[in-house]
Structure 1
Amino acid sequence: MRKALWLLFCVCSFSGALAQNLSVRGRIVDGKDQAPLIGSNVLLIQLPDSVRQGTAADGQGAFAFEGLTTGRYVLSVSFLGYTTLRRTLELNSQSLSLGAVALQSGGAVALKGVEVVGQAAASVQKGDTTQFDSRAFKTNPDASAQDLITKLPGVVVTDGKVQAQGEQVQRILVDGKEFFGSDPDAVLKNLPAEAIDKIQVFDRRSDQSQFTGFNDGNTEKTINITTKPAFRNGQFGRLLAGYGPDHLNSLSSGKYRLSGNLNSFKGTQRLSVVAQSNNVNEQNFGTEDLLGVIGTSAQGGGGARGGGRPGGGRPGGQQGGGQQGGAAGNFLVNQTGGISTTHAVGLNYSDTWRKKTDVQASYFFNLSDNTTQTSTNRLYNVLEQGRKLGYDENSDATGRNINHRFNLRLEHKFDTVNSVLWQPRFTLQRNTSNSSLDGRTFLAGSSDEPQTIQSLNNSRYTSAQDGITLTNQVLYRHRFARRGRTFSLGVNTTYNRRNADNYLTSRNYDFVRADTSATDQYSRLDQLGWNWNGSANYTEPLSLKAQLQANYTVSYAPNDSDKRTFDQLDGRRTPNDALSNVFRSNYLTNSAGLTYRYQFEKVEWAVGAAVQQAQLHNEQTFPRDLTTRRTFYNVLPNAQLQYKFSRQQNLRLNYNMRTQNPSISQLQEVVNNSNQLQIRTGNPNLVQEFSHNLFLRYSAAQPETSRSFFALIGGSYTDNYIGNSTTVLQRAQDFGGVTVPAGGQITRPVNLNKQYSLRSFANYTLPLKVIKSNLNLNANATFSQTPGIVNQGLNYNRAPSLGLGAVLSSNISPELDFTLSSNSSQTYARNTLLSQNNSNYFRQTSTLRLNWILVRGITLQSDVNHVAYRGLTAGFNQSYVLWNASLGKKLFAKQQGELKLYAFDLLGQNNSISRSITDAYTEDVRTNILQRYLMLMFTYNLRSFSGAGPADVPREGGERRFGPPGGGGNRPGGGGGGFGG
């Protein structure tokens, strides 16, 4: 009897436990095309006491309620433009999986042909997501997604790069799916604003975190664009052609621009084609379209010259105005400097196959011919005879870059508990370049201008480089019967190959020694790198509110670099062992960690740590044998905290500690003498750097007043920071087989401590109803300390900076669209080693953009940019105005065509200036830029939609718009909406 009672007690207890841990899951989709309705409001009401739980559908339209008890519930689902769905549910002993929950478009109240639509809230805060309603931001019918996004609070678009809430946007999705891979520029220029319904800004969690529901802190700033239902079935696109002479008396050569795109949307299936050819710096490059060997070969005879840290480029540069874009220094993703002719084509495809497989694929081809002319002035943090040491140069370079890029993302669900994610990526690059450089070192006078010339260098450099990158990521995921218990296994591989053939001829004049030398060399660089990474992740629910995650990661990265240099004399090549090097670096890490996560109502927090062992093995086999082995042990803590004051207001904190191993280019001790006044080499004794990162973010929105506020403060602290040891020679010296003249610079990477940076950003937006516009106010402050060794003295470069900005964007009508903005920054450069080089400089950029549709389809567009610099080197301070304008006329019955006369740089003042502040020097650079031209342009817009067309999309304020001003019907199949691109 006792055994029977005990068994009955266990069964009842087990049944009770199950009854307390039920769930309801589903996926919200469009009833017509089954597309996910991202951000749908899902409410679960328990009967009879009406206890409510709410959530928003995620990027796949999915939702879940957990920790439920048996009983009756009412499920309510709503989404703007759709009829609200209410369904009664009964939970017994098993959880419910509702599958696809379809909403039907409609829900508006029609009164005598007028659709009554409430005032759209500009922004709504939904947990981690800030959601903007496109109806609250009026744009011109010809506007692109970029025109709309730049009106959003806290969003800035510069040279195809997007910043939101003070952070770089890494990914832009369309209806939850990738559009042309991870290239934000392609989305912004190839999607019309009129197709956009909602814009969501959020920190996208990793695929691993999205599966487990366990926030591991690995996020990337993401924008998701949801399209209007009317645009999800049909074709739309744009064709553009334009030409203008370089000189009014010459039509044989001039500026031209050709571009076209076609998009076919059919439910979940989306196919897009884009193409362009122009010589007006419309480069439209993505993040991998600049050859990666420019960075990796700078230490081994590659094409980068001078610049800050290893890898080339000019950190911290401020860019000039116009369409020129900056030097390719910030992660090598900016538009290239100078003037470019570009030919590009891209394909994008996404679909859902048999409801179990989501596929997204894209292909890009780019060919760019570039001409760059730069003038550089550099002042070192060093004194000689009471005067500053300096360097200046003039360089001319031409280059051709060819790039092929393929991306695929395939996610397959075998069943409800097993899935696999496969993401291969392939990039093939070819770069050829020719450059000439005239540089000199000098002692500066009191005005910082050259006074005594020490040495001259005249060089010619030719390079042909190839690069292949292949990555393959596979993630298998399994969900156990117990809710919250998951297991996943990931394998990632990366293959890199870089090859370069370089030719250098130069003549050097040392006025201190009255000596002249000449160089004629050929060098060959071969680099091969692998990265193998395996990870296992397990999550275990400890209670309804607590969860534990355990993970293990192993990574192995072997890299080989072989650089051979030959002296060319009398048609023969003689090996130069001093400038040759064969080097191999292996980096092996093992890491195991635990993280505890707790979530209850308004509070979610997690804390954990990982134990990491890392082994760095360097082996040099030529010109002499050298082996170094190092083992590192680290405890890497992490923590996250999120507090939701309300649905519209939240606070988030993230902390982590990370390590970074030195690259093979930093480790390989081989001299790069492409400029004998600027010598660089590697350091095989480098160790890994480790950094602490802390960020605090606060978001709040008031939908009823269309006001919002966002603030961010954070920073990082790095020990063993890989900085530079810079030696500026006071007299000639032989270094690594190269004679460096007086005033020449020798740079070598070293590990240093106490590198840190702090930054803060705040944005406040409010509507100005009197003038029907939105006002965004922002402020930022940054502070950085960068250590470096200059002539054996430790220098800390400190650069505090303050900035203020304001953006006034119109919300008057689609026919009148303007944006007025101004941003100012004051930077203070301070050096502990040489206070004489302290400086202050000011930069202000003000912009007015106007798009106005006048009577009878006549259009007027004007962009005016004013840029002012103060505090730069003499001759580099600038104040100039870039003014672009066009006058056009809409054509055809549906106004799908437009002919316009476009003028670039009407005042002929366009300019490009950048300033760099490093631990060793302060540098100002001027680059050639596109100058004034006129162009006659013709644009044709394609529109063909099934069902309700774009013209039938309700407008804000209760209006229904049946055609653009000036006549013509904006009906399906064509019509007035423009197409950005």
Structure 2
Amino acid sequence: MMKKVTLLLVLLLATLPVFAQTYPISGRVVDITDQSPLIGANVLLTRVPDSVKTGAAVDPTGRFELTAAPGRYVLTVSFLGYQTLRRPVEVAAAPVVLGTLALATSQVKLNGVEVVGQAAAAVQKGDTTQYDSRAFKTNPDANAQDLITKMPGVIVQDGKVQAQGEQVQRVLVDGKEFFGSDPDAVLKNLPAEAIDKIQVYDRRSDQSQFTGFNDGNTEKTINIVTKPTFRNGQFGRIVAGYGPDAGRDKYRVSGNINSFKGARRFSVVAQSNNVNEQNFGTDDLLGVIGTSAQGGGGQRGGGRQGAGGNAGNRGGGGGGGNAGNFLVNQASGISTTHAVGLNYSDSWGKKTDVQASYFFNLSDNVANSATNRLYNVQTRGRTLGYDEASTGSARNINNRFNLRLEHKFDSLNSLLWQPRVTMQNNTSDSNLDGRTFLGAFSEQSDSSQSTNLSKYHSAQMGLTLTNQLLYRHRFAKRGRTFSLGLNTTYNNRDADNFLYSENFDFTSRPTATPSFTNQYSRLDQIGWTWNGTASYTEPLSLKSQLQLNYTINYAPNDSDKKTYELLPNDGRDLNEQLSNVFTSRYTTNSAGLTYRYQFQKLEWSVGGSLQYAQLHNEQEFPRSVTTDRPFWSVLPTAQLQYKFSRQQNLRVNYQARTQNPSISQLQDVVNNSNQLQIRTGNPNLAQEYTHNLFVRYSATQPETSRSFFALVGGSYTDNSIANSTLVVREPTRIEGTTVVVPAGGTIIRPVNLNNEYSLRSFANYTLPLKLIKSNLNLNASATFSQTPGFVNSRLNYNRSPNFGLGAVLSSNISPELDFTLSSNSSQTYARNTVQSQSNSQYFRQNTTLRLNWILVKGVTLQSDVNHVAYRGLTAGYNQNFVLWNASLGKKFLPKQQAELKLFAFDLLGQNNSIQRNITEAYTEDVRTNILQRYFMLMFTYNLRNFGGSGAAPTDAPRDGNRQFGPPGGRPPGGGGGRPGGGFGG
């Protein structure tokens, strides 16, 4: 018995250190000269006297944190090219704050020793995939986008950057925001020669990063780590070009200037052009503009499946009172743009970090399009179709300001403040000629059912103010935290619309029945969102942690739409049937509990929350109607991450969410801007309930520069807000109004339906081809979506499988010869459970060759050849064309910083733009006007001034030129004439 008691005591004593209290040890590692953070520096804590070691890496802000039990330690900080720092540390019963640890550069010089080897292309570091820029050779003066397109799993398509199968939503520079959250502005204005590492990861929310609990709010993020030699100095580029043209002379002026001094960074970018460089990404254009306001777009599922096989945006979602939902991507057609942007980031003392940016953009757009649409409906045994030809012009003025300020009161308390202001002013005019018919492109005299000739003018103003506050407190006990957040959003949208239309119904032959509309409408929408969160985490052991959270959300929205009939004597008569005053109040309360476990290679968490939501709708005009809808929801969540090794990991993420209907979907008012396509709201809509599940696997082999990535995921939605589409076979009056929909016209109303889901998979494999000194990037994808919808009161499920294969061969020969050959093919199917004869399929292939070649010193040849082929589209829309851009340039001045070049766009005159959209109600093909052949003489001046000497860094290229991102050029896979180069090219 004594032996057993003694053994038990020994075991208990042995386990005491496991349960001993630990305390955080924190600090910041910087360069002793400019105080810039030494990102990735190694921090090692060694316990005295048993030499037990604990390590950490410095984050993008230069900070690190370790935990240790009371005792004596030695802290070692090391970084390549810097002298190692060692410091004794003693941990008592309190956190240890070491402050700033400055490293000096190493003065040791090795003579006569040359080490030649190949840098590892990719390294997996936990959740982060890190690429070494030295493993990818680019043409001198290339920008960040040119560099990342050579990296495994990174694709630039339709002007958007995708990494590991997901769209990149944020690009950071040394861990800090650069021009807000616009990836395009960063990648096109940062030179590739300044980049040391590229890190790709899923950035968690600020709240999740603080607590360690993954709340599912992640953004696919690229962090660009710059070379230390580029963190002090100025760099930039100025471009000016002009080309005579028979129709309209072409011009382009752009520039970017960047001044970096340690943590303080200031940048200015500007441009003016009429070659369709629209630039600034998603926040520049007010959504309901020109033809998009009047045409068939904007329906739920419009653009669900693009011609390139990419899932489109969910058109019907989002709040009508939310100005953010009136923002679209690059406008179709051709634009003249004037823009300027400012970006500033700095550390104010040791406790405050700030990043701020401002954008101004003025865009004049001209868009002409032709649409052919076939509905999943038959009349008298023939398919119902819709043709549309539209011309439109729009002017959009956008101002956008962002600020991120983080202040750390001490090692335990911090405050994060993120305000944002967006102001927009849009005016647009459009002319539309629409026709409904029976049979695809039938020439029979009785094929036309009805026609609509209309003119539409719109003037809109939008203001969005958002404010995010997050207070965080870390207790002395490791793992115990408390945070409190308050987020507010204010949206204000005003719109004045004028509509004149002539409609003819041919079903009453032999005489067509005409009708005329001459109206003015005024829309005023105001919306607020108030969101408060509280979160508390408590450690249960060294391996496990518990989180309790509570969230309250209140979203009041008001919408007032008045429509007036314009009278011959310039008078106005209120049309009550097309007017509506509506308010919506959406309130949610949710409380949740999550358990997290982490030990060595395994980390998992499971939890859930109980949510009570109430949707209160009140119609005040033209008649008083009130509806109340309560909702109880259980929202489970689960995450798992397993690290097979340092270079292999598996991640699983599941989350359930709810989404309330927008005020535009709820407001029961008729929108007759296109009288062949009438839309109304539905005040009886319920909230959506969605399950999301994703599985990701990553593996790299640094020694062979091989990497593999795979993703499988999907979502399932109950009470999905879908469309009920009624295609009328004869003139039909909308109940309660005098609006008559001609034969062949449609009435679209949102409804709740179940069984909407989507599945997708993506895999990428990269390997080096040493024989030709190049990298081969292979990828495959498969997606499947099911979209429900009523078509003439029959429930139809549109199912769209898509399969894609791609390959990219990028050179690693030398900076003097840089080429990229890529090819992507996709096969898309459209299957319907109602009227299977409407099923279709189409094939798209896009092959691109980009060549940058320095023929002799100072002489550059650049060529971009893009072949696009479509098969299976509507007759007349199948295309097989080649877009060829080329330039020949000569560099001059002592440091070769200036260049004069002759640039040619679309040498063969074949540029084209085709888009296929598939929805639950129809399949359509759209052709849009595009920028075509022109020539331009361009002058470029590159500024490089680092270290105060005015000389380029020793590792910078000495010759060459990138200035190619063709003005108005099409990125690989994109529609022709969409933006090509950035401010600096």
**Equivalent residues in 2 for 1:609-624, closer than 5 Å:** 609-624=608-623
2:545 counterpart (532, 544, 547)? 547
Hey, what's the Cα distance between the residues in 1 that align with 2:479 and 2:776? 44
CA separation of 1:130 and 1:445: change in aligned 2, threshold 3 A: closer
Amino acid at match of 1:316: Q
CA separation of 1:625 and 1:793: change in aligned 2, threshold 3 A: same
Secondary structure of 2:771's counterpart equals coil
Hey, what's the Cα distance between the residues in 1 that align with 2:755 and 2:355? 44
Using the TM superposition, give the Cα deviation of residue 316 of structure 1 relative to its aligned residue in structure 2, in angstroms: 2.3
2:520 counterpart (507, 519, 522)? 522
Using the TM superposition, give the Cα deviation of residue 199 of structure 1 relative to its aligned residue in structure 2, in angstroms: 0.6
- Kindly indicate whether the alpha-carbon contact (under 8 Å) linking 1:283 and 1:342 is maintained by their aligned counterparts in 2: yes
**Equivalent residues in 2 for 1:747-896, closer than 5 Å:** 747-896=748-897
- Kindly indicate whether the alpha-carbon contact (under 8 Å) linking 2:309 and 2:827 is maintained by their aligned counterparts in 1: no
CA separation of 1:45 and 1:119: change in aligned 2, threshold 3 A: farther
Hey, what's the Cα distance between the residues in 1 that align with 2:443 and 2:64? 64
CA separation of 1:780 and 1:939: change in aligned 2, threshold 3 A: same
1:97 corresponding residue in structure 2: 97
Hey, what's the Cα distance between the residues in 2 that align with 1:392 and 1:81? 66
Hey, what's the Cα distance between the residues in 2 that align with 1:808 and 1:81? 34
- Kindly indicate whether the alpha-carbon contact (under 8 Å) linking 1:327 and 1:337 is maintained by their aligned counterparts in 2: no
Using the TM superposition, give the Cα deviation of residue 219 of structure 1 relative to its aligned residue in structure 2, in angstroms: 1.3
**Equivalent residues in 2 for 1:82-121, closer than 5 Å:** 82-87=82-87, 89-91=89-91, 93-106=93-106, 110-112=110-112, 116=115, 118-121=117-120
1:307 corresponds to 2:297: yes
Hey, what's the Cα distance between the residues in 2 that align with 1:896 and 1:697? 44
- Kindly indicate whether the alpha-carbon contact (under 8 Å) linking 2:271 and 2:983 is maintained by their aligned counterparts in 1: no
Using the TM superposition, give the Cα deviation of residue 737 of structure 1 relative to its aligned residue in structure 2, in angstroms: 2.8
**Equivalent residues in 2 for 1:402-421, closer than 5 Å:** 402-421=397-416
Hey, what's the Cα distance between the residues in 1 that align with 2:582 and 2:14? 65
2:65 corresponding residue in structure 1: 64
Hey, what's the Cα distance between the residues in 2 that align with 1:329 and 1:276? 33
Hey, what's the Cα distance between the residues in 1 that align with 2:531 and 2:336? 39
1:316 corresponds to 2:305: yes
**Equivalent residues in 2 for 1:206-221, closer than 5 Å:** 206-221=205-220
1:377 corresponds to 2:372: yes
CA RMSD, Structure 1 to Structure 2 (Å): 2.6
Using the TM superposition, give the Cα deviation of residue 22 of structure 1 relative to its aligned residue in structure 2, in angstroms: 3.5
CA separation of 1:940 and 1:115: change in aligned 2, threshold 3 A: farther
Length-normalised TM-score, structure 2: 0.92
1:492 corresponds to 2:487: yes
Amino acid at match of 2:211: T
1:28 corresponding residue in structure 2: 29
Deviation string 1:672-704 (CA, Å, 9 cap, x unpaired) is 111100111111010000000000000111111
CA separation of 1:888 and 1:605: change in aligned 2, threshold 3 A: same
2:434 counterpart (439, 443, 446)? 439
1:344 counterpart (336, 339, 342)? 339
- Kindly indicate whether the alpha-carbon contact (under 8 Å) linking 1:356 and 1:412 is maintained by their aligned counterparts in 2: yes
**Equivalent residues in 2 for 1:115-264, closer than 5 Å:** 116=115, 118-247=117-246, 253-264=248-259
2:566 counterpart (565, 568, 576)? 568
Deviation string 1:899-953 (CA, Å, 9 cap, x unpaired) is 0000000000000000011000000000000000000000001111116877444
CA separation of 1:638 and 1:450: change in aligned 2, threshold 3 A: farther
Amino acid at match of 1:272: S
Using the TM superposition, give the Cα deviation of residue 18 of structure 1 relative to its aligned residue in structure 2, in angstroms: 7.9
1:289 corresponding residue in structure 2: 284
Secondary structure of 2:60's counterpart equals coil
Secondary structure of 2:249's counterpart equals strand
1:916 corresponding residue in structure 2: 917
Secondary structure of 1:246's counterpart equals coil
CA separation of 1:783 and 1:159: change in aligned 2, threshold 3 A: closer
Secondary structure of 1:665's counterpart equals helix
1:388 corresponds to 2:387: no
- Kindly indicate whether the alpha-carbon contact (under 8 Å) linking 1:521 and 1:566 is maintained by their aligned counterparts in 2: yes
2:555 corresponding residue in structure 1: 557
Deviation string 1:729-787 (CA, Å, 9 cap, x unpaired) is 10000114311100001100000000000000011111111111111000000000000
Hey, what's the Cα distance between the residues in 2 that align with 1:595 and 1:379? 49
Amino acid at match of 1:202: Y
1:422 corresponding residue in structure 2: 417
Deviation string 1:104-134 (CA, Å, 9 cap, x unpaired) is 344886324x764643111110000001111
Hey, what's the Cα distance between the residues in 1 that align with 2:435 and 2:441? 19
Amino acid at match of 1:443: L
Hey, what's the Cα distance between the residues in 1 that align with 2:754 and 2:75? 57
Using the TM superposition, give the Cα deviation of residue 898 of structure 1 relative to its aligned residue in structure 2, in angstroms: 0.3
Secondary structure of 1:691's counterpart equals strand
Deviation string 1:853-905 (CA, Å, 9 cap, x unpaired) is 11131001100101110000000000100000000000111100000000000
CA separation of 1:797 and 1:313: change in aligned 2, threshold 3 A: closer
1:975 corresponding residue in structure 2: none
Hey, what's the Cα distance between the residues in 2 that align with 1:103 and 1:356? 20
Hey, what's the Cα distance between the residues in 2 that align with 1:948 and 1:767? 38
1:659 corresponds to 2:658: yes
- Kindly indicate whether the alpha-carbon contact (under 8 Å) linking 2:282 and 2:330 is maintained by their aligned counterparts in 1: no
- Kindly indicate whether the alpha-carbon contact (under 8 Å) linking 2:286 and 2:328 is maintained by their aligned counterparts in 1: no
1:356 corresponds to 2:351: yes
Hey, what's the Cα distance between the residues in 1 that align with 2:352 and 2:405? 7
Using the TM superposition, give the Cα deviation of residue 85 of structure 1 relative to its aligned residue in structure 2, in angstroms: 4.3
Using the TM superposition, give the Cα deviation of residue 159 of structure 1 relative to its aligned residue in structure 2, in angstroms: 4.4
Structure 2: gaps spanning 5 or more residues: 1-12, 318-324, 962-981
- Identify which range, 567-576 or 922-931, moves more after superposition: 567-576
2:968 corresponding residue in structure 1: none
Deviation string 1:179-228 (CA, Å, 9 cap, x unpaired) is 01001111011110001111100111111122223332321111100111
1:510 corresponding residue in structure 2: 505
Deviation string 1:454-484 (CA, Å, 9 cap, x unpaired) is 1111000000000000001111111112111
2:976 corresponding residue in structure 1: none
Hey, what's the Cα distance between the residues in 2 that align with 1:209 and 1:472? 19
- Kindly indicate whether the alpha-carbon contact (under 8 Å) linking 1:110 and 1:116 is maintained by their aligned counterparts in 2: no
Amino acid at match of 2:100: A
Aligned residues: 938
Deviation string 1:773-804 (CA, Å, 9 cap, x unpaired) is 11100000000000000000000000011000
Deviation string 1:544-565 (CA, Å, 9 cap, x unpaired) is 1111111111010000000000
Secondary structure of 2:411's counterpart equals coil
Hey, what's the Cα distance between the residues in 1 that align with 2:740 and 2:265? 60
Hey, what's the Cα distance between the residues in 2 that align with 1:121 and 1:449? 66
Secondary structure of 2:299's counterpart equals coil
Amino acid at match of 1:550: L
Secondary structure of 1:673's counterpart equals coil
Using the TM superposition, give the Cα deviation of residue 86 of structure 1 relative to its aligned residue in structure 2, in angstroms: 4.8
Deviation string 1:320-359 (CA, Å, 9 cap, x unpaired) is 99xxx99999975421100000000011111000111111
Hey, what's the Cα distance between the residues in 2 that align with 1:695 and 1:812? 38
Secondary structure of 2:538's counterpart equals strand
CA separation of 1:48 and 1:771: change in aligned 2, threshold 3 A: farther
Hey, what's the Cα distance between the residues in 2 that align with 1:705 and 1:232? 31
- Kindly indicate whether the alpha-carbon contact (under 8 Å) linking 1:143 and 1:980 is maintained by their aligned counterparts in 2: no
Give % identity: 73
Amino acid at match of 1:566: Y
- Kindly indicate whether the alpha-carbon contact (under 8 Å) linking 1:246 and 1:933 is maintained by their aligned counterparts in 2: yes
- Kindly indicate whether the alpha-carbon contact (under 8 Å) linking 1:293 and 1:466 is maintained by their aligned counterparts in 2: no
- Identify which range, 840-849 or 56-65, moves more after superposition: 56-65
Amino acid at match of 1:871: G
Amino acid at match of 1:734: R
Hey, what's the Cα distance between the residues in 1 that align with 2:158 and 2:109? 43
Hey, what's the Cα distance between the residues in 1 that align with 2:741 and 2:440? 23
CA separation of 1:965 and 1:210: change in aligned 2, threshold 3 A: closer
